[in-house]
Each structure stands twice: as C-alpha cells, then as structure tokens.
A and B are shown apart, each in its own frame.
Chain A
Amino acid sequence: MKKTLCIVAIGQLLLTAAAHADPVVVIGNPAAGPLTKEQVSDLYLGKSQGMKLVDQPASAPIKATFYQQVSGHDLSQVKATWSRLIFTGKAQPPKELPDSAAIKKAVAADSKTLGYIEKSAVDGSVKVVLELK
C-alpha cells in the first residue's frame, strides 16, 4: 500500500514537472515580431483586433492554462466575455482547431494568424512570439 502511494506520488511529481517543463508558447508566422502578454490577452479576450486567432479545443488542458496565464481568467469567464462580444457583433471568436499540429499548420500558412501550443511542439515552421510562465 505504502509502495503504491509512493509510486502515485512520484507519478504526480513527474506530471507536475512535465507541465512546468513544457510551457505554453504563443506562436506566429516566422516573419512575426514579439508580442507582450497584454497584447496577447487583449487579442484573445476580443479587446483588440487585427490578427486571425486560432484556439485549442475545449477538451485540451493547455487551453485553461493558456487563458489563466495570459489573462488570469478561467474558461467560464472567457466564455462569458466572448458571449457578450459574439451576440453584439463586436468581434469574431478565435477559431477552434483540433490540435497543436493543426494550429502550427494554420499559423505557418498565414502571416496574420496567431496561435498557442506546447513549447515542445515548436518547430521551424513557426516562431515563438511569447513564452508564458
């Protein structure tokens, strides 16, 4: 019993370590310049426009981490904010794509598209414009 608990504890430690070791990064086209946390927060909460945003699916754990780190808001707050913008025609919500690979592809293909993925998934097709902590 003690052994099982110990293994579970180690497993949890490893998971936590993995989460910390693989931070969320905001990615843009290779030609894009760096962005501040405030700029990314404004874009993803509909306060400013001018970029095409792509988003992770609701089922991906990275989604809650991203919004919490960039804006301090949980997903319910983010949804409430967007429901006001969508039903008054003020802004277009970010487009949900199935996974990080699809997000990388969309960002690589268009200089005005912005997304976020795990740092470990970054490759030469995209550029990290902001690393979140």
Chain B
Amino acid sequence: MRKVIAIGALASVMAHVPAYAQDANSLLSNVDFSFSGYGTAGTAVTSTDSAVYIRGNESSGATTSFAENVDSNLGVQATARFNSWLAVTVQGEATRDALTGTVPWAYVKIDPIDNLSFKLGRIEMPIFAISDSLDVGYANVWLRPPQEVYALSNLKELNGGEFSYSLPVGGTHLTLTGYAGDTVIWTQRYGQMTGNDTRGGELKWDTQWVTLRAGWAQAHVDGNIVIENIPVGPIPSPLGPVTAYVPYNYYVEDVYSFEGFGALVDHDNIIAQAEWVKRYSHNYPGTVNATGWYLLAGYRFGTLAPYVSYAKSDKDHGDGYTAAGTLSDDQNTAAIGVRWDAFKSADIKFQVEHVNPEGTGGVSFAFINSPLGLLPATPSGSVNVFSLTVDFIF
C-alpha cells in the first residue's frame, strides 16, 4: 500500500515536472531583457593648491594638478520585464573616486494600474529636483550640479519602497511620490552614520514646458562618530616626550530633514532652472542647518547650449556653530559653460567656475587630516575651476 502511494506520488511528481519546466520556459521566453548605460569621462583643474576641489563627498579632487576623478563615472543597467506590470531593474555604478563601485538602484517595479507604480528594493530618493539622476551627466545641461545645493543632500540610496501616482489634470500631470525605508548618511566631517526610519515625498506638476516641484525628506540619524583627536601627554618615548592623539568618540542621535522647491523650464530653445533647498537638524542645528539655492539659464543654438548659473549656500551660524565642526559652510559660485551635442549619443561640456568660499571652508573643498582630526581646508580667497567632460549613453 505504502509502495503504491509512493509510486503514485512519484508518478504525479513526474507528471508535474515537465509542466513546471514548460511554465518556467514560457515565462522566460516572454521576458524582455534590456541593457543600457551611461558614463562621464572628465578632467578638472583649479587655480589653487591651498585646498582640494571636490564634488559631493569625494576623498580627493582637483588642485592646480588635473584630476579625472571629480566627474568621471560609469553606470550600467539591466532590466528584465516580465509583462506589462512587472519588471526587475539593477543598476551598478563605478566612479574613479570609489573603485569598489556601488549599486544605486536594484528594485522590483510593479504597475498595478495606469499611472500608479511601486518600487521595492534599493532606490535613489528624489530629495531635490535632480537628486535621482545626478550621476547621469548626459541627462543634464550643466557639467556638474551646483554643489551649494546638491552637496547639502547627504543621504545615500534608500533600502525600502516607493510609490508614485500621476494624475492627469487638463493636459498637465500632477505626480505624488512617497517613499520609506533605511539609508546611510555620509558626511566628510563625520563619516558614515545610519539613517533609519527615513521617509519623504515629492509633489510635482508637469506641463508641456514647465515642471514645478516640492520635496521633503526626513531621516533618524545615529552612530558613533569621531569628533576630534584629543592630545594626551607628553608621554615619554625613546625620542623624548611626545604628545599622543586619541580619537574622541561620541554617540550621535538626531533627526535630519531636507526640503526643497524647484522650477525647471524647457521651452523652444530656452532652458531655465531654479531651486531653493534647506537642510536642518533637530539636535545639532549649528553643525547641520544650511540653506542653498541656484539659478541657471541657457539657450540652445542647434547643437550648442551655452549656459550661466549662480549658486549660493549659507550655513546657519547660530547655536552650536564652530568652523571646525560644521558639515559645510558658506560659499557662492558663478559658472559659465557650454554643452555641445557633438555626437549621436554623446556630448562634450566645458565649464568655468568662480568659487568663493567667503573666507570659510566652503562646500566644495576636501577636509584635511591633522593631528587633531579632520578639519575644513580654507582656500586663500576665491578659486577658479576649469572642467571638461564627455558624457555618453548606450
């Protein structure tokens, strides 16, 4: 009896195996795979050796010696689309600054009905207007985003979920996006901290030639950070008495918030962009709070698009501010540049910037290692930056 059941079970399993195999085969044969990528190859040089010019949180950058790591990157993306409502996407990116590479995007996308979509996995948050496509040089007019605004958003990618709902309103589109999950926060000054219970949203209104948007995000920050190295000594040594420096660890718990408003115009040959953003902290306003804004205007003459921009960041110099302890400081930049769509899927950009850190450590300069720990580098006066890049997609 047992044998019969066993044989019966085996037969039934055998009967099902080809059916499952066939299902899997037909599922796979219907999967639409697509591969694409983006990249930037560039170099930058500045007028000073008194501070190192960087983008975002890079560890090294440009001085009077050319640096290729400031803007260069390479991203590849693979998407497997199973049907009209289900797709899986993974994107990997390598930058010359962090050769290990990162995975900015890895998500399952579900579109249950028209105009509604969910992404689950790892995503870049739309904290400011261009935050989610900052690294795709080809998508943007400028050579490099204004650091006075974009260096303020120091949340990395989110592990969690996002929904997006788009509502057609009389020929225009109103899109509401919301997201939640965990992230990490990276600052030059204090390194990495966790950003749990992160959430945020964006409301965007798109017409034929104007996009208006408002965004907000919040993260619970915590971690052990090294505030400074404390001198201990003098301690006797074979070379005589020396001073030792001991890292002073400090546990930080805080809530960071980001808000931003933006307007993007692309009409006939006119390009204009403006954003105003704010970063603030619940517990350490003197270290974190800062405001940034920029204006950009450009005009297309065929394949040439010259542009000018002005950006400014103001650190909140209120309670608890110290020049040595702040995440970023005051800075303004006037820039002039040109995008030349020289090839079918590649452009060439040239940009000249006049960066004025207003006597502080500014926003765009690498902190320097000293026996007392990381300290802001204060450039002697304004710095001119010259950059050349080639952006491409494939």
Contact = CB atoms under 8 A, between A and B. Distances in A.
**Is B a genuine binding partner of A?**
yes
Contact of B139 (A42, A80, A89): A80
Given A58-B344, A89-B119, A92-B81, A84 B114 contact: no
B319 interface: no
Interface in B43-77: 75, 77
Interface stretch (A14-22, A47-55, A120-128): A47-55
Contacts of B105: 87-89
Given A88-B124, A88-B132, A92-B81, A83 B114 contact: no
A83 B392 CA distance: 10
Contacts of B206: 47
B108 to A, nearest CB: 10
Given A47-B206, A48-B168, A92-B81, A84 B173 contact: no
A33 to B, nearest CB: 15
B138 A79 contact: yes
Interface residues of B, number: 40
A86 interface: yes
A9 B87 CA distance: 53
Contact of B173 (A47, A58, A81): A47
B30 interface: no
B115 A38 contact: no
Interface string A86-103: 111110100000000000
Given A80-B139, A89-B89, A49 B115 contact: yes
Count chain B CB atoms within 10 A of each CB in A76, A79, A86 and give the residue with the most: A76
Contacts, number: 66
A86 B166 contact: no
Nearest to B206: A47
A87 B92 CA distance: 11
A91 to B, nearest CB: 9
A57 interface: no
Contacts of B77: 86-87
B133 A87 contact: yes
Contacts of A88: 105, 124, 132-133
A76 B305 CA distance: 11
Contacts of A11: none
A84 B300 CA distance: 19
Contacts of B38: 83, 87
B109 A76 contact: no
22 contacts: A38-B208, A42-B173, A48-B166, A48-B168, A48-B173, A50-B114, A50-B115, A76-B303, A79-B138, A79-B393, A83-B136, A83-B393, A84-B136, A86-B77, A87-B38, A87-B133, A88-B132, A88-B133, A89-B105, A89-B109, A89-B119, A90-B164
Interface of A: 38, 41-42, 47-50, 52, 58, 72, 75-77, 79-81, 83-84, 86-90, 92
Interface of B: 36, 38, 75, 77, 81, 84, 87, 89, 91, 105, 107, 109, 111, 114-115, 119, 123-124, 132-133, 136, 138-140, 164, 166, 168, 171, 173, 206, 208, 266, 268, 300, 303, 341, 344-345, 347, 393
